[in-house]
Amino acid sequence: MILSFMLESLVRWRAEGKVAVWLRVPISLSRCAAAASTHGFTFHHAKHDRAVLVLWLGEGESQLPGFATHQVGVAGAVVDESNGKVLVVQDRNKTTNAWKFPGGLSDPGENIGATAVREVFEETGVRSEFRSLLSVRQQHNHPGAFGMSDMYMICRLRPLTYDINFCTRECLRCEWLDLAELTRTSDTTPITARIARLLLHGLERGFGEIDLSMEEIPAIYSGRFYQLYHRQLPSLVTHI
Residues annotated as part of the active site: 122
Q: Distance between CA atoms of 68 and 163, rounded to whole angstroms?
A: 38
User: What is the end-to-end Cα distance of the chain in Å, rounded?
Assistant: 81
| 51 SS3 class | strand
Q: Distance between CA atoms of 163 and 161, rounded to whole angstroms?
A: 6
User: DSSP state, 127?
Assistant: -
Edge-to-edge, what's the strand order for the sheet holding 20-26?
Answer: 20-26, 50-56, 42-47
Paired residues of 90 in beta bridges = 173
Q: Distance between CA atoms of 216 and 228, rounded to whole angstroms?
A: 6
Contacts of residue 20, defined as CB under 8 A and 6 or more positions apart, other chains included, come to 54, 55, 56, 57, 58, 62, 64
Residue 46: CA count within 13 A, CB half-sphere:
11
227 within 8 A of 111, measured Cβ to Cβ? yes
